[in-house]
Structure 1
Amino acid sequence: MSADRKFPDGFTWGVATSAYQIEGAWNEDGEGVSIWDTFSHTPGNVKNDDTGDVANDHYHRYAEDVALMKDLGANGYRFSIAWPRIFPEGTGTPNQRGMDFYNRLVDELLAAGIEPFATLYHWDLPQTLEDAHGGWRSKETAKAFADYAGFVAEQLGDRVRHYFTINEFASFVEAGYQGVDVQVGGGKTIHLGAAPAVSVSDAELKQVRHHAVLGHGLAVQAIRAQGPEGTKVGFAENIRVAVPVLDTPEHVRAAEAATRERNAGFMTVMMEGRYTDDYLASAGGTTPTFTDDELAIIASPLDFVDINVYRPGWYIEPADEAPGYRDVPINASHPKMLSSWHVFDPEVLYWAPHHMQSIWGAQSIYITENGCAASDVLTADGRVYDSDRVMFLRAYLTQLQRATSEGIPVHGYFHWSAQDNLEWMDGFGNRFGLIYVDFETLERTPKLSADWFREAVRRNAVV
């Protein structure tokens, strides 16, 4: 590891948010209803029945928020565009007032010296597409997504050069269309559900996955066709990372094999253009309906690959029997952050990009999300002493710097999140931000971690 713990020259230090979690203004200026509007307005779906109706009111306070990002030293901002703001019905006539907001935001970012990185789908599907087609259960939604993506690239392409098609396939598909069990240690699991809150069979879920990755591939092609030359595109997947118990060649190979197979429905098919044999044999051997042409579209060439990394999915050791690896249980006493699902292991931020390069030959990698919830409170002296987040950042980014020092091509890091926001089913209770938000007054206060992040950016190094 490099003694000074510096990152490569030109490294992007960014922060990240998503539209539904911060914008508010849920029915202003012609925006349509999203599945998350419907989900959060249904009592009992979100903790404390919190909604994104107002959220952080970023729609009206974006200039203040950009100024805070500039003060953090961030030189990149990953934000998402609300599909229902641009196409209230999912398709058809675009809503210029919605597009105007993102034009204003992008101009504000560029004036502050912050590069905009736009995510086109961060889960807020237009409700009309869910009602008409069953959302991602239908290929029609994949086609509509490509039309929307191409339109946005055409509108913003003179200023926005980096696009992520879809955020966390493994989250919105699994949790939204069936619900997902997450291991939290000691043999315990928690069940997570999300919008649109439907339950399909294992076989049907394969088809939903296929339509989601097809939507990604179609969007890549649309962005290239309608954006200007030089436009760059990738995805932002929550890679399920297998961490080797020992850093030996045998353990590493076993962890790579597990990572490839357990990301088969999303990452692997997007990177390789094929479904693995074991994946097709799962769920009773029921395979999704697809064509060779669709697989080629799904594997459309990318300019970078982008991964959200929070926790290890499994600890792995080699095994003599098939498939050549086995899981090591996560102990009940294993350290965790505030979120019950958030198993703490900084090395995951080394192994995730390592696997991306080793398995798939990735030549440009961004960490598009990494961060933690903490029990943040505003103290009498007007500060937030999130010492655990500072510990988290120092530990995790030390492992990321280890990766870059070994030549793994990580070109940027986006902290989740720029500011506290609506954390989906957890409501406003789980705070992930570098900036504290009082959700009654909407006053913003930089935390202790903001000071750490600012100094890390200044030095371009772990501090």
Structure 2
Amino acid sequence: MELRKADFGPQFRWGVATAAYQIEGAVEEDGRGPSIWDTFAHTPGRIKTGENADVACDFYHRYREDLALIREMNFQAHRFSLSWPRILPEGRGRVNPKGLDFYQRVIDRTLELGLEPWVTLYHWDLPQALEDQGGWTNREIVGWFGEYVEVCSKAFGDRVRHWMVLNEPTVFTVLGYLQGRHAPGRKGLSSFLPAVHHAALAQAEGGRILRANLPEAQIGTTFSASYVQAAGPTWLSRMAAIQYDAIANRLFIEPALGLGYPWRRAPFLHLLRPYIRSGDLEKLAFNFDFIGLQTYFRQLVRFDPLAPATWAREVPHEERGGELTAMGWEVWPENLYHLLKQFAAYPGVRRIVITENGVAYPDALENGQVHDAKRIAFIQAHLRQVRRAQQEGVPVEGYFYWSLMDNFEWAEGYRPRFGLVYVDYPTQQRILKDSALWFRDFLG
């Protein structure tokens, strides 16, 4: 199927996505406070390459030229996050005017270029001062987060129409509070379970605050998603896949839709009950205008009685026989189609936007150019799956590629390159990859 921009419809939004901690740098400039990722990245052994994001892509100083690259590629929108510790250095209370000023300049430049700012309020960089008080395991974080949302909505709401409350709550609770692979590096159900419940409460509370302050805004939140398949035909494999799917895809969207937690699919979630107070289940619900789906690969799982909680163990990507990315992830474009169908089946889901989808390959700079034909093929294959879902009635209304440029890939360091723009980190030179030129022509 030949891809044409017009086939996706005139209202379909095309954009790129970034996250504050991964690109901004300037971690000690203009009053910014430390985040959990500053602490984590400076702890020996936490980042595979031993690197940190103190400088990252230096977007803090280079935002004007970086935003111009988005316009040059003919995108319409930029999804970016606000740094909570840059705006509220202690997480609450004192507001940092220089932090607000920076994002005012970013938003002004975005609009000046004719781009739409799509703002994510929380993309994992929790102020360290709040983590010192328990972070997402402390119920008070719902109020702390609400204060932050109040500040941001009042500061930027006159020019920002599209808002996303949380970025991938399943990922930051599982990796950060259950497995310890991401900041703040905690492990165990005693951290994970309260973090899940408080994040779900904060997701809805953030939506309510935005709605009250900005009644004309388009309010969403984003979910990490992976189509879950059983690795075998047995009843045990299917049961394992159902439980795995409950955590991977249903844990946060179903409470938001008023369906409560997916207790029946994943019985171990009954362990959440000690953290749930009277009235909480009603407070979990919020009528979002759209949901963001973020996906990179499918989950192929098999039954394993030794696997904790779900009795499901993911089949390693290298055992599946397909192409692998620089992250070691399987390339399987149909994953996107099946996820769109699955999430569109919820009665409360009216609009879906792909707020992240992309791929890392070991890009190399050759004579001032980056030839990334495999990334172009990846994008085209996934866009065909978006169009396939559209043709079957799925209300998918946008696609944001991850990411605008190569950046600090969390615990992986700088080795994986997801960007359309190549970043030469020693010089901070930006170079449009062939995939960026493809988008420029496709969207032109």
Task: Mark the CA change 1:94 to 1:328 in structure 2 (over 3 Å): closer, same or farther.
Answer: closer
Counterpart in 1 of 2:162? 162
- Indicate if the aligned counterparts of 2:18 and 2:402 stay in contact, CA closer than 8 A: yes
Residue pairs, 1:43-62, within 5 angstroms = 43-62=44-63
Counterpart in 1 of 2:275? 289
Counterpart in 2 of 1:187? none
Counterpart in 2 of 1:72? 73
Structure 1 counterpart of 2:30, one-letter code: D
**How many Å separate the matches in 1 of 2:357 and 2:4?**
22
Q: Which of 164, 183, 193 is equivalent to 1:195?
A: 183
- Indicate if the aligned counterparts of 1:281 and 1:287 stay in contact, CA closer than 8 A: no
**How many Å separate the matches in 2 of 1:372 and 1:54?**
23
Q: Which of 281, 304, 310 is equivalent to 2:296?
A: 310
Structure 1 counterpart of 2:412, one-letter code: D
Greater alpha carbon shift after TM alignment, 345-354 vs 116-125: 345-354
**How many Å separate the matches in 1 of 2:418 and 2:102?**
25
State, as a whole percentage, how many aligned pairs show the same letter: 39
- Indicate if the aligned counterparts of 1:206 and 1:287 stay in contact, CA closer than 8 A: no
Structure 1 counterpart of 2:398, one-letter code: G
Partner of 1:263, secondary structure, is helix
* Residue 225 (structure 1) aligned with residue 226 (structure 2): no
- Indicate if the aligned counterparts of 1:177 and 1:205 stay in contact, CA closer than 8 A: yes
Question: Could you tell me how far 1:99 is from its partner in structure 2?
Answer: 0.4
Residue pairs, 1:251-270, within 5 angstroms = 259-260=245-246, 262-270=248-256
Task: Mark the CA change 1:178 to 1:285 in structure 2 (over 3 Å): closer, same or farther.
Answer: closer
Structure 2 counterpart of 1:209, one-letter code: V
Counterpart in 1 of 2:110? 109
Question: Could you tell me how far 1:222 is from its partner in structure 2?
Answer: 1.3
How many residues align? The count is 431
Question: Could you tell me how far 1:235 is from its partner in structure 2?
Answer: 0.7
Question: Could you tell me how far 1:244 is from its partner in structure 2?
Answer: 8.5
Partner of 1:412, secondary structure, is strand
- Indicate if the aligned counterparts of 1:176 and 1:195 stay in contact, CA closer than 8 A: yes
| Alpha-carbon displacement from aligned partner over 1:337-381 (angstroms, at most 9, x marks no partner) | 32344221101111111111113442111101000101101102x
* Residue 171 (structure 1) aligned with residue 171 (structure 2): yes
**How many Å separate the matches in 2 of 1:336 and 1:179?**
27
Structure 1 counterpart of 2:252, one-letter code: F
Task: Mark the CA change 1:255 to 1:404 in structure 2 (over 3 Å): closer, same or farther.
Answer: farther
Partner of 1:272, secondary structure, is coil
Partner of 2:16, secondary structure, is strand
Question: Could you tell me how far 1:257 is from its partner in structure 2?
Answer: 9.2
Task: Mark the CA change 1:259 to 1:360 in structure 2 (over 3 Å): closer, same or farther.
Answer: farther
Task: Mark the CA change 1:328 to 1:32 in structure 2 (over 3 Å): closer, same or farther.
Answer: closer
**How many Å separate the matches in 2 of 1:86 and 1:260?**
35
**How many Å separate the matches in 2 of 1:70 and 1:375?**
26
* Residue 414 (structure 1) aligned with residue 381 (structure 2): no
Structure 2 counterpart of 1:67, one-letter code: A
Structure 2 unmatched runs, 5+: 233-237, 303-311
**How many Å separate the matches in 2 of 1:269 and 1:136?**
17
Counterpart in 1 of 2:371? 385
Question: Could you tell me how far 1:388 is from its partner in structure 2?
Answer: 1.0
Question: Could you tell me how far 1:333 is from its partner in structure 2?
Answer: 4.0
**How many Å separate the matches in 2 of 1:457 and 1:395?**
16
**How many Å separate the matches in 1 of 2:11 and 2:243?**
32
What CA RMSD, in Å, does the superposition of the two structures yield over aligned residues? Answer: 2.8
- Indicate if the aligned counterparts of 1:202 and 1:283 stay in contact, CA closer than 8 A: no
Counterpart in 2 of 1:81? 82
Partner of 1:214, secondary structure, is helix
**How many Å separate the matches in 1 of 2:270 and 2:190?**
8
**How many Å separate the matches in 1 of 2:2 and 2:229?**
22
Greater alpha carbon shift after TM alignment, 122-131 vs 344-353: 344-353
- Indicate if the aligned counterparts of 1:243 and 1:348 stay in contact, CA closer than 8 A: no
| Alpha-carbon displacement from aligned partner over 1:105-130 (angstroms, at most 9, x marks no partner) | 00101111110000010100000001
Counterpart in 1 of 2:363? 376
**How many Å separate the matches in 2 of 1:284 and 1:214?**
17
Question: Could you tell me how far 1:401 is from its partner in structure 2?
Answer: 1.1
| Alpha-carbon displacement from aligned partner over 1:284-339 (angstroms, at most 9, x marks no partner) | 856342135322222111110111011112379xxxxxxxxx99957714324323
Question: Could you tell me how far 1:260 is from its partner in structure 2?
Answer: 5.0
Question: Could you tell me how far 1:279 is from its partner in structure 2?
Answer: 5.8
Task: Mark the CA change 1:262 to 1:44 in structure 2 (over 3 Å): closer, same or farther.
Answer: closer
Partner of 2:279, secondary structure, is helix
- Indicate if the aligned counterparts of 1:306 and 1:365 stay in contact, CA closer than 8 A: yes
**How many Å separate the matches in 1 of 2:348 and 2:272?**
30
Task: Mark the CA change 1:292 to 1:240 in structure 2 (over 3 Å): closer, same or farther.
Answer: farther
| Alpha-carbon displacement from aligned partner over 1:126-146 (angstroms, at most 9, x marks no partner) | 000011x21000111121111
**How many Å separate the matches in 2 of 1:50 and 1:203?**
30
- Indicate if the aligned counterparts of 2:166 and 2:221 stay in contact, CA closer than 8 A: yes
Q: Which of 193, 211, 217 is equivalent to 1:206?
A: 193
Question: Could you tell me how far 1:164 is from its partner in structure 2?
Answer: 0.6
Task: Mark the CA change 1:2 to 1:51 in structure 2 (over 3 Å): closer, same or farther.
Answer: closer
- Indicate if the aligned counterparts of 2:243 and 2:266 stay in contact, CA closer than 8 A: no
TM-score w.r.t. the length of structure 2 is 0.90
Residue pairs, 1:125-140, within 5 angstroms = 125-131=126-132, 133-140=133-140
- Indicate if the aligned counterparts of 1:256 and 1:355 stay in contact, CA closer than 8 A: no
Counterpart in 1 of 2:93? 92
| Alpha-carbon displacement from aligned partner over 1:402-452 (angstroms, at most 9, x marks no partner) | 111222111111100000000011111100000000000000000010011
Task: Mark the CA change 1:128 to 1:389 in structure 2 (over 3 Å): closer, same or farther.
Answer: same
**How many Å separate the matches in 2 of 1:143 and 1:94?**
16
Task: Mark the CA change 1:416 to 1:115 in structure 2 (over 3 Å): closer, same or farther.
Answer: same
Partner of 2:400, secondary structure, is strand
- Indicate if the aligned counterparts of 1:206 and 1:265 stay in contact, CA closer than 8 A: no
- Indicate if the aligned counterparts of 1:151 and 1:226 stay in contact, CA closer than 8 A: no
Residue pairs, 1:270-285, within 5 angstroms = 270-278=256-264, 281-282=267-268, 285=271
Counterpart in 2 of 1:319? none
* Residue 436 (structure 1) aligned with residue 422 (structure 2): yes
Question: Could you tell me how far 1:241 is from its partner in structure 2?
Answer: 2.2
Question: Could you tell me how far 1:262 is from its partner in structure 2?
Answer: 4.8
Task: Mark the CA change 1:288 to 1:346 in structure 2 (over 3 Å): closer, same or farther.
Answer: farther
**How many Å separate the matches in 2 of 1:118 and 1:169?**
16
Partner of 2:196, secondary structure, is helix
**How many Å separate the matches in 1 of 2:47 and 2:65?**
28
